[in-house]
């Protein structure tokens, strides 16, 4: 308690009341103090925005990976469905049969 002498208590009361704000040095430097305060607020906003962007990029990366895996799975299923044996089995279920001989190619006659 030796630090709380009459002089220190008086200074603390002055600070709490805000009497130092009327001091000429403070008033002279007030524009600079406001400038620094504005810069600090802009810095805090920029840091918050950067963190928000990092979170959004992380979420989008996860979403892209999921969509890529769905694409590859769908592509694999489609490739299996396009195989000739798979097409023949589905056609057989519909009552269609494949030809034993190759189809005939129709050629356009030359008009000379």
In the chain, domain spans: 30-82
Q: Which residue has the tokens 């044996």?
A: 85
Q: Which residue has the tokens 């990029």?
A: 57
| Whole-number pLDDT of residue 2 | 61
Contact between residue 18 and residue 27 where contact means Cβ atoms under 8 Å apart? no
Tokens of 16: 């709490």
Which ranges of the chain would DSSP assign to H, the alpha helix? 6-17, 24-28, 30-82, 84-93
| Whole-number pLDDT of residue 3 | 66
Position 33 pLDDT exceeds 80:
yes
Position 13 pLDDT exceeds 80:
no
pLDDT for 37-89, tens place per residue? 999 999 999 999 999 999 999 999 999 999 999 999 999 999 988 888 888 88
């Amino acid at each position: 308690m030796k630090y709380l002498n009459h002089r220190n208590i008086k200074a603390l009361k002055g600070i709490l009341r805000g009497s130092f704000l009327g001091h000429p040095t403070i008033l002279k430097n007030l524009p600079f103090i406001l400038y620094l305060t504005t810069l600090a607020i802009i810095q805090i906003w920029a840091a918050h925005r950067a963190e928000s962007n990092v979170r959004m990029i992380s979420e989008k990366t996860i979403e892209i990976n999921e969509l890529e895996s769905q694409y590859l799975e769908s592509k694999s299923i489609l490739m299996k469905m396009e195989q000739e044996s798979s097409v023949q089995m589905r056609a057989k279920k519909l009552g269609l049969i494949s030809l034993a001989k190759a189809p005939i190619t129709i050629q356009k006659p030359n008009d000379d």
